[in-house]
């Protein structure tokens, strides 16, 4: 108990020192998004993750994990991740308040977790979304102190995802040599399905956010199956009224997205060689992914692979 209290005190002291150090630094990048808005967006995701782990660990006992085939220590590690997410919430909230900024509050969420496997699978997805958010959001932070704090959280979120995907799910601990970086709207699109409602004051504390139309990716002819590289897939989304050529952009790491034309407005040949978590966006441009060209998505697809590099 003493160690836990000491750790929390140290976290608050660090948050206070960062807030004092950042107060004299520029508050905005050229894009017009302030540091408090960026940190509040990060806090929105941390609230979501913290609540997710709380609910999942309340719902599934040690016996449930054992019955699902997980080793004895798996639930304990997820409990440690839950504690990390709670600490991130406390840290960001304290830093914002110490700098004179208001912090967003926890929302109401909807997590579909019918069994332990669904809980662990969703944990891996949420951690991947978190790492892409911190990676993409780095360019929006003006204060070097806040950037350092965000980098510290990013490193831990990436370790969470790596442990879940490898030790718990027996897959790869990474996707490629580089982490994918997504923008706030793209991250919000991925997080929005889990958010039922938020306190009225939250929106004013965040960057302007727009969730893109939902996108689902499934293997052609087998909606419940696994999407495979090199095989056909069908995309489900609200098609635009105007008849225009559409493309599926496959985004992975820092590589240039791979654009594949859609056939019949919904079918796509999934490119060969994709590994790990890949983000798919439907665009009306075969060479650009941005707010103006996005028709639907992103969606996240996991091309899990083994130690020999073979996609499983």
**DSSP characters over 89-155:** HHHHHHHHHHTT-PPPPP-EE-----SHHHHHHHHHHHHHHHHHHHHHHGGG---HHHHHHHHHHHH
Partner residues linked to 259 by β-bridges:
249
Q: Per-residue pLDDT for 138 more than 90? A: yes
Q: Per-residue pLDDT for 50 more than 80? A: yes
Count other C-beta atoms under 10 Å from residue 14's C-beta.
Answer: 15
Task: Provide the mean pLDDT of the chain.
Answer: 90
**How many residues does this entry show for the chain?**
312
Which residues, including other chains, have CB under 8 Å from residue 77's CB and lie 6 or more apart? 163, 167, 168
The DSSP code for 291 is T
Which residues, including other chains, have CB under 8 Å from residue 76's CB and lie 6 or more apart? none
Q: Per-residue pLDDT for 27 more than 70? A: no
Question: Coil, strand or helix: which one is 218?
Answer: strand
Q: Per-residue pLDDT for 148 more than 80? A: yes
Q: Per-residue pLDDT for 129 more than 70? A: yes
- What are the pLDDT digits (tens) for 180-195? 999 999 999 999 999 9
pLDDT at 151: 96
Rounded CA gap, 293 and 251, in Å?
15
pLDDT at 16: 46
Q: What pTM did the predictor assign?
A: 0.89
Q: Per-residue pLDDT for 108 more than 90? A: yes
- The share of the chain scoring above pLDDT 70, in percent, equals 90
pLDDT at 31: 58
Sheet (strand 258-261) strand order: 258-261, 247-251, 276-283, 294-303
Rounded CA gap, 22 and 149, in Å?
11
C-alpha distances (whole Å) from 198 to each of 108, 122, 281 are 6, 21, 26
Position with higher pLDDT, 272 vs 2 = 272
pLDDT at 143: 93
Q: Per-residue pLDDT for 247 more than 60? A: yes
pLDDT at 24: 38
Which band of pLDDT confidence, cut at 50, 70 and 90, is reported for residue 26?
very low
User: Average pLDDT in the 76-80 region?
Assistant: 98
User: Average pLDDT in the 286-307 region?
Assistant: 94
Q: Which two tokens stand for residue 274?
A: 């994709």
User: Average pLDDT in the 263-286 region?
Assistant: 95
Sheet (strand 232-236) strand order: 216-219, 232-236, 267-269
- Closest by CA to 38, choosing from 86, 128, 99, 111, is 99
Q: Per-residue pLDDT for 46 more than 60? A: yes
| Domains present along the chain, CATH in parentheses | 2-205 (1.20.1260.10), 216-303 (2.60.40)
User: Average pLDDT in the 151-156 region?
Assistant: 97
pLDDT at 14: 52
Report CA dihedral (118, 123, 128, 131) to the nearest 10 degrees.
170
pLDDT at 223: 72
Which band of pLDDT confidence, cut at 50, 70 and 90, is reported for residue 22?
very low
The DSSP code for 63 is H
- Closest by CA to 172, choosing from 134, 124, 232, 119, is 124
User: Average pLDDT in the 80-91 region?
Assistant: 98
């Amino acid at each position: 108990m003493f160690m836990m209290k000491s750790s929390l005190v140290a976290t608050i002291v660090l948050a206070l020192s960062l807030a004092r150090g950042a107060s004299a630094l520029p508050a905005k990048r050229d894009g017009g998004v302030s540091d408090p808005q960026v940190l509040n967006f990060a806090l929105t995701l941390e609230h979501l993750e913290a609540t997710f782990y709380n609910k999942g660990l309340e719902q599934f006992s040690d016996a449930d994990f054992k019955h699902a085939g997980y080793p004895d220590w798996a639930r304990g590690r997820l409990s440690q991740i839950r504690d990390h997410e709670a600490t991130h919430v406390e840290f960001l909230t304290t830093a914002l308040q110490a700098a004179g900024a208001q912090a967003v509050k926890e929302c109401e969420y909807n997590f579909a977790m019918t069994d332990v496997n669904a809980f662990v699978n969703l944990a891996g997805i949420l951690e991947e979304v978190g790492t892409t958010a911190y990676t993409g959001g780095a360019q929006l932070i003006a204060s070097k102190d806040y950037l350092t704090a965000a980098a510290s959280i990013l490193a831990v979120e990436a370790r969470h995802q790596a442990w879940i995907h490898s030790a718990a799910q027996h897959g790869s601990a990474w996707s490629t040599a580089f982490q994918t970086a997504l923008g706030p709207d793209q991250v919000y699109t991925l997080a929005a399905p889990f958010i039922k409602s938020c306190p009225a004051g939250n929106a004013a504390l965040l960057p302007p956010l727009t969730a893109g139309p939902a996108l689902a990716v499934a293997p052609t002819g087998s909606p419940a199956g696994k999407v495979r590289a090199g095989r056909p897939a069908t995309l489900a989304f609200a098609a635009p009224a105007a008849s225009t050529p559409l493309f599926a952009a496959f985004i992975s790491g820092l590589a240039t997205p791979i654009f594949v034309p859609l056939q019949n407005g919904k079918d796509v040949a999934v490119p060969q060689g994709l590994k790990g978590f890949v983000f798919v966006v439907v665009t009306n441009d075969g060479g650009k992914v941005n707010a103006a060209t996005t028709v639907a998505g992103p969606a996240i697809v996991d091309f899990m692979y083994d130690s020999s590099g073979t996609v499983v």
